[in-house]
Structure 1
Amino acid sequence: MKIKLIASIMFLTFFACSETKEVPKGKSMSLTDSKTTTCQLIIKEFTNKGGKVTEYKELYLRCSIQDYFIKICEGNVTAEELKPYIGSGIEVIMEIKEGMLDHCDENPAYSQSRTGTYIVINKIIE
């Protein structure tokens, strides 16, 4: 009985400690293995660091339970091209990236910029 218990613990420990892959900062990763992703395009009100909701609105893609900020300036699709899809499903070719959300160049002078995960839309699939 003890041997089975020890063997089970060793087996679980071996597989639990397997190496994980991490996406290097600044590199992109895909949401799925397919080339396209279908999500809901939504608008969120911008909330500043003080917690105040501003009049400024931002576009997000809601994929499953995660909302991804859309960084328009890095993609091949404009906000005007996305507007007809607001509140509905949209199929896109996109990349998920890490970095500054508010600025398009990696200038360290923008230290107050929000940072995190965002997406870049390369193409809308009609």
Structure 2
Amino acid sequence: MSLTPDAFLPAYRAAAAEREGLGVPPLALDAEQTKALTELLETPPTGEEQTLLHLLSERIPPGVDEAAYVKADWLSAVAEGRRSSPLVTPLEATRLLATMIGGYNVAALIRLLSNTDNSLA
């Protein structure tokens, strides 16, 4: 069963609260949660903007995790203008791609070097 964007934040908050009760930080987002997050970033619920941005920048593992693939793919699409978000500009998407530690972000960053918008290259 696929996680819907509407169900993502309540489920994440419940899991984070459970882990907080155990004295441990929340788990990093998995690929399914990351997909739901990217959908919410395209049409963010009012009042959740900062939470969504925090989850995007801080709760997805860098490198070659499946969630990192989803994140890199979405950020690449935003940076290249194939997707859009009122919260993540193409320049911010490029900046976030650059913070990922190798792996799925590399091809996107190389493509962005030839972008006609010099602020992205």
Q: What TM-score, normalized by structure 2, do the two folds share?
A: 0.24
Q: What TM-score, normalized by structure 1, do the two folds share?
A: 0.24
Structure showing greater Rg: 1
The structure with the greater share of residues assigned to helix is: 2
